[in-house]
């Protein structure tokens, strides 16, 4: 079977070959340089760290051939950027361990994680040769915050404890009203400790009516939050109903 190639245009930039370091034995022998990024205090406003091995106690480190990265303590993706070869290597959030060969001919690169939060930590090692590649699957374990029988009335209820930073992965909110004594209209907002709105949904009903429904179900999401999560209810009416909220999340 032949391959069909769609209509194309010529590549507009100059193509230049570069030396490949994979098969080059470093003169200093097999070595690595470990490092750690605490994103709450490193990277500045843009969450970007410049790593330069020249003159920083690694004078005998002549080349970069691979990276090993433990991103299990970080709830955000981390990018390793090598401008000289225009290569970017992205390590997903919560990846426990991976080894990736890299293409570069310098000893300078950048580590970038724009969605990282305080409490996120990325551990890594820079290698001057190529160790066996490995990738360990991310754990599926989750923390659970279950709040039941929250009164369907204006007020604030803490769902995930204050001081907790992490990633919200699944969320379910159920409202139950047996026989509403009055008409009601409420807005339910899930908000973290920084004021960021994570989700919002309305619960509306008429006098004498009933409501027993799952009004919000979010699965397979990855929404970062800081300093806990609260359920804020605003609106009018007093139908005598309750709200159940189940949140599944990872730390950090």
pLDDT tens, residue by residue, 41-69: 999 999 999 999 876 555 678 899 999 99
Rounded to whole angstroms, the Cα distance separating 154 from 179 reads: 19
- Among the residue ranges 38-47, 54-63, 142-151, 156-165, the one predicted with the least confidence is 54-63
The CATH class, in words, for 32-135 is: mainly beta
Would you say how long the chain is, in residues?
252
Q: What's CA 127's distance to the chain center, in Å?
A: 26
Cβ-proximal residues to 106 (8 Å cutoff; 6+ apart), any chain:
64, 82, 84
Give CA–CA dist 122/57, Å, rounded. Answer: 21
Q: Are 170 and 224 in contact (CB under 8 A)?
A: no
Domains 32-135 and 143-250 share a fold: yes
pLDDT at 134: 80
Q: What sign for the dihedral angle of Cα 108, 111, 112, 118?
A: negative
The residue-averaged pLDDT of 22-37 equals: 90
Q: Are the beta carbons of 225 and 168 closer than 8 angstroms?
A: yes
Q: What is the pLDDT of residue 224?
A: 96
Residue 8 pLDDT greater than 80, yes or no: yes
> Considering the domain 143-250 in this protein, what is its CATH number?
2.60.120
**Where on the phi/psi map is residue 34: left (φ > 0), alpha (ψ -120 to 50), or beta?**
beta
**Rounded alpha-carbon distances, angstroms, from residue 64 to 94, 95, 104, 105, 239:** 24, 22, 7, 7, 66
Q: Does the structure show a pLDDT above 90 at 167?
A: yes
pLDDT for the residue numbered 140: 76
Its pTM stands at 0.86
Residue-level pLDDT at 1: 66
Domain ranges of the chain: 32-135, 143-250
Residue 162, pLDDT above cutoff 70: yes
């Amino acid at each position: 079977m032949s391959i069909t190639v769609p209509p194309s245009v010529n590549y507009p930039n100059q193509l230049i070959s570069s030396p490949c370091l994979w098969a080059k034995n470093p003169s200093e022998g097999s070595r690595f340089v470990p490092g750690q990024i605490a994103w709450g205090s490193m990277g500045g406003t843009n969450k970007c760290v410049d790593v330069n091995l020249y003159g920083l106690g690694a004078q005998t480190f002549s080349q970069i051939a691979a990276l090993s990265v433990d991103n299990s303590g970080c709830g955000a993706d981390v990018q390793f950027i090598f401008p000289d070869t225009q290569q970017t290597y992205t390590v997903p959030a919560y990846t426990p361990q991976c080894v990736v060969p890299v293409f570069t001919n310098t000893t300078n690169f950048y580590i970038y994680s724009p969605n990282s939060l305080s409490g996120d930590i990325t551990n890594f090692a820079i290698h001057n040769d190529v160790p066996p590649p490995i990738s360990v699957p991310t754990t599926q374990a989750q923390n659970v915050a279950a709040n039941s029988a929250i009164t369907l009335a204006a007020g604030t209820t803490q769902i995930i404890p204050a001081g907790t930073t992490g990633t919200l992965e699944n969320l379910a909110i159920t409202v139950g009203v047996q026989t509403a004594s009055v008409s009601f209209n409420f807005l339910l907002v899930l908000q973290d400790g920084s004021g960021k709105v994570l989700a919002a949904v309305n619960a509306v009903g008429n006098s004498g009516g009933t409501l027993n429904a799952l009004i919000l179900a979010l699965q397979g999401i990855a929404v970062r939050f800081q300093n806990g999560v609260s359920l804020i209810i605003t609106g009018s009416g007093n139908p005598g109903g309750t709200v159940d909220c189940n949140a599944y999340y990872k730390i950090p």
